Structure 1
Amino acid sequence: AAAVDNIGLFFGEDVFIAIGSILLIRAILEQEGIIVAPLSVAVWAIPTAVAAFFIHGARLLLLDRRLRARRA
């Protein structure tokens, strides 16, 4: 349960515009002279969040299979 929560929070928060990580990324890019909107950063985080969802989901399915086999 803790792993699912961590994955969801870590990758899910980057899709939400008003979260600190998006604003931090924006501020660092602005210091380097690159002006981006928070929405642009959040949109680019979506593919990573989707990939993390599927990868972690597959890992959980494999874990469930191993636990069922061990129990049987």
Structure 2
Amino acid sequence: MDNRMVSLFFLTLPMIGVVESHGLKQAAVNGISKIKNLSAGKIFNLYLAIREITDAMGIALSGQVQFIRPLINPMAQAAASVKKPLTDKQVDLIKARAAATDNFGNFFSQNLFIASSGVLLMSSTMKSLGYTATPANIVLYSIPMAVITFLITAYYNRRFDKQFEI
């Protein structure tokens, strides 16, 4: 009975299905198609910035199923298909890039919050091994990796956009 909260993730897929069936995906596509000069790479960079900032504040966006599939991927496809329709290969590339951007943002910024489980686990493990590693030090040393990841991924996303230019 104490662990019933663990099963809450079972609600994720039905909730995404309900939201999509009521038009969230189409609303996102319509909104993006009205904005000029927005590209898939720019959407990915904006999402990456939001992902890293929210991770630093201890807010989890929940990633692939809850955020990438219903929102980021359709918005990126809509932005990329403004000038001409996308091929199946280009659609697959956008899906993969959306997932990769989420993975980069999550993996390299998950230790930016001092009370995150990973930071606390590393700190307690290092302490039990006789090393001095405070949660603040772990966060401090995680910041450069998050910044470097953002810069490299943002550059790669800009290059990714070149594939969709005429």
Is the radius of gyration larger for structure 1 or structure 2? Answer: 2
1:20 alignment partner in structure 2:
117
Letter in 2 for 1:49: A
Letter in 2 for 1:16: F
Letter in 1 for 2:114: I
What's the CA shift string for 1:28-61, capped at 9, x where partnerless?
A: 2112201222011101100011000000111111
3-state DSSP of counterpart to 2:111: helix
Structure with greater helix share of residues: 1
Out of 106, 125, 150, the position equivalent to 1:9 is 106
1:65 alignment partner in structure 2:
162
Among all aligned residue pairs of Structure 1 and Structure 2, give the percentage whose two residues are the same amino acid.
Answer: 32
How large is the Cα RMSD of the aligned pairs? 1.2
> Per-residue deviation at 1:17?
0.9
Out of 129, 146, 158, the position equivalent to 1:49 is 146
TM-score of the two chains, using structure 2 as the length reference:
0.39
Gap runs ≥5 in structure 1: none
**Which structure carries more relative contact order (alpha carbon 8 Å, separation 6+)?**
1
3-state DSSP of counterpart to 1:63: helix
Deviation >3 Å, runs of 4+ = none
Gap runs ≥5 in structure 2: 1-97
